[in-house]
Amino acid sequence: MLDTLVAAPLVRFAADIYPLILQNDLYRYLLGAGGTFLVINVLLSARLASRKIRDETPDAGQIAREILASLRTVFIFSLVGLTIAILANLGMLPVHEDPAQYGWTYFAINVVALIVAHDAWFYWTHWIMHRPKLFRRFHLLHHRSHNPTPWTAYAFNVSEAFVNAVFLLLFMVVMPTSVLAAFIFTAHMMARNAIGHCGYEVFPANRDGRPLFDWIAAVTHHDLHHARPRTNFGLYFTWWDKIMGTEDPTYYDEFRRAVTRCALRTSRSAH
């Protein structure tokens, strides 16, 4: 009887909050991936033609496959989001509504820590998923998009979607996080992910054709990963690839070509 009295409010809470969580995750994908596709790949495609990384353009069949897989990923992200909400409601997770609860300096550190920690999480889980025994089970679906689009951002196997989704839950266990900080992090994650798959080099270059912000993973950086999957495992930054020696040795040449009207010409792996 006591268990029922305790469980009933929790079930009502989950039933009330889940539609909002699912809606937010769905809108984030549709606005992030769809907005990037609309702006870069449609509205600005003619203006950015000189920065198109590859000659080929992905077909409608690839995009449809990516969207369908991504909708499943949205569902998995929403389930992890529901878990976070339930644990926070039970007082088992240090999530707070007031972004200034620990001061605005803490808030800024919180957001930066989320992004930096997620980049490390992504690099190492991504590298592990490329091990031969794990690749097919975790990461093959994503690499079916040899020439990616913004819609590729969430095109994951179920297992990979869970690995990516669970990061935020694990981070929140370690560092108290505000709802606003989590929102900014997930919005940044979606935007950078979609832009990184857009196929146009939108990041600025120096006069010599090298990336102006060399520590940021430009579009060419991740595009090369889809062309040659054994290099360039980073998501936001190039730090881990440089430290671990996994950055593609042709990256700077390919970036230079992408910003000087030369399409990327790479041998595509069947991986």
Decide if pLDDT at 267 tops 60: no
**pLDDT tens-digit series, residues 34-45:** 999 999 999 999
Give 130's contacts (C-beta < 8 A, 6+ positions apart). Answer: 139, 229, 230, 233
pLDDT of residue 6: 53
Alpha carbon distance 121, 113 (integer Å): 12
* Listed residue (61, 232, 246) closest to 155, CA to CA: 61
Higher-scoring residue by pLDDT: 93, 11: 93
pLDDT confidence of 7, banded at 50, 70, 90? low
Q: Quick check: helix, strand or coil at residue 243?
A: helix
Decide if pLDDT at 269 tops 70: no
Q: Quick check: helix, strand or coil at residue 5?
A: helix
* Listed residue (68, 234, 230, 80) closest to 141, CA to CA: 68
Q: Where are the alpha helices (DSSP H) in 90-178?
A: 104-129, 132-138, 140-143, 158-174
**pLDDT tens-digit series, residues 178-213:** 999 999 999 999 999 999 999 999 999 998 899 999
Alpha carbon distance 178, 95 (integer Å): 6
Alpha carbon distance 259, 223 (integer Å): 14
**pTM of the predicted protein model:** 0.91
Length in residues, the chain = 271
Q: Quick check: helix, strand or coil at residue 60?
A: helix
Structure tokens at 58: 């992905």
Higher-scoring residue by pLDDT: 215, 4: 215
What Rg do the C-alpha atoms of the chain give, in angstroms? 20
Query: In the chain, pLDDT over 70 holds for what percent of residues?
Result: 93
Q: Strands (DSSP E) along the chain, which ranges?
A: 95-96, 177-178
Cβ neighbours of 34 (radius 10 Å): 15
pLDDT of residue 8: 75
Alpha carbon distance 50, 46 (integer Å): 8
